[in-house]
């Protein structure tokens, strides 16, 4: 009973709704139209851009590295020059730190404390000569040496000789009392000829060292030479125009009972 009554009520209610408003199809059509209108009003149109033209990549060819050849320079062979001695003046230096072999005939000599010590000699010869065998013989040359009194009699002389040829030579000696002497000595008969003999302040006294120099230079006339005798930088005496020839030189002391030392020997040939 109740079920039939309920179905009847639903039918009646549906009829009433149909009579009072639009149909269901009308409602659906209206809803679709409103929805599309709202969508077209609220959303902006969307444009999908066409793809732009992308340039194709350039084909870059990278060369394959190859071995770089090494440049080899082949030098043209040349003749190797033969080394020859440059012509020039002869020279001989000796600081006497040891026996250089340049004083082969030295008697009563010793190399001591970097110097060559001569003496004391016994009373035999008047002039005791020590030849510079390492200097050889030349016509024109210059010599220099540092000489110092060591011990013994102070009235004797010590120094050098030059121009030794044909049995003659010049002797240049000094004493601790500040005297100097220049003599020509003749070997035969021990003869002396005095050239100059003076006291001089140029001579350093007592145990002081003196720098002795002698030069034989070419003179105006052929085959002659000028002898210049200097002490501590001062020229004391000159002999002009002496006949010359190749000669020897060296160290010397006169008489005996004296000891002297020599250092820094210099010998230089003078070319004409």
Residue 93 predicted with pLDDT over 80: yes
End-to-end CA distance of the chain: 173
Quote the pLDDT of residue 122: 86
Rounded alpha-carbon distances, angstroms, from residue 252 to 36, 44, 89, 170, 176: 144, 132, 25, 11, 16
Q: Residue 63: pLDDT band by 50, 70, 90 thresholds?
A: low
Mean pLDDT estimate for the chain: 80
- Are 253 and 119 a contacting pair, CB within 8 Å? yes
Q: Encode pLDDT of 33-47 as tens digits.
A: 454 444 444 444 444
Q: Residue 9: pLDDT band by 50, 70, 90 thresholds?
A: low
Q: What is the pTM of this model?
A: 0.68
Quote the pLDDT of residue 124: 75
Of 57-61, 106-110, 138-142, 173-177, minimum mean pLDDT range: 57-61
Q: Counting Cβ atoms within 10 Å, is residue 195 exposed (0-12), middle (13-18) or buried (19+)?
A: middle
Q: Encode pLDDT of 218-237 as tens digits.
A: 999 999 999 999 999 999 99
Residue 271 predicted with pLDDT over 60: yes
Of 19-23, 137-141, 150-154, minimum mean pLDDT range: 19-23
Quote the pLDDT of residue 28: 43
Mean per-residue pLDDT, 213-222: 96
- Are 249 and 114 a contacting pair, CB within 8 Å? no
């Amino acid at each position: 009973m109740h079920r039939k009554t309920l179905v009847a009520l639903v039918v009646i209610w549906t009829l009433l709704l149909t009579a009072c408003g639009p149909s269901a199809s009308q409602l659906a059509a209206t809803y679709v139209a409103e929805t599309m209108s709202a969508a077209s009003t609220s959303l902006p149109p969307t444009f999908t851009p066409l793809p732009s033209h992308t340039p194709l990549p350039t084909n870059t060819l990278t060369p394959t590295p190859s071995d770089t050849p090494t440049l080899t320079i082949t030098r043209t062979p040349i003749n190797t020059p033969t080394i020859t001695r440059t012509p020039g003046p002869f020279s001989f230096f000796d600081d006497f730190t040891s026996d250089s072999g340049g004083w082969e005939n030295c008697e009563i000599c010793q190399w001591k404390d970097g110097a060559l010590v001569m003496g004391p000699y016994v009373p035999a010869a008047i002039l005791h000569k020590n030849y510079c065998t390492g200097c050889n013989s030349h016509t024109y040359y210059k010599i220099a040496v540092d000489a110092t009194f060591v011990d013994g009699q102070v009235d004797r002389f010590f120094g050098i000789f030059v121009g030794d040829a044909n049995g003659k030579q010049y002797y240049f000696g000094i004493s601790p009392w500040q005297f100097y002497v220049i003599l020509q000595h003749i070997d035969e008969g021990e003869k002396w000829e005095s050239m100059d003999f003076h006291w001089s302040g140029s001579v350093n006294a007592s145990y002081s060292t003196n720098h002795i120099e002698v030069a034989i230079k070419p003179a105006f006339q052929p085959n002659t030479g000028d002898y210049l005798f200097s002490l501590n930088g001062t020229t004391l005496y000159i002999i002009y125009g002496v006949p010359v020839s190749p000669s020897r030189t060296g160290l010397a002391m006169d008489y005996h009972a004296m000891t002297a030392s020599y250092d820094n020997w210099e010998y230089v040939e003078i070319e004409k």
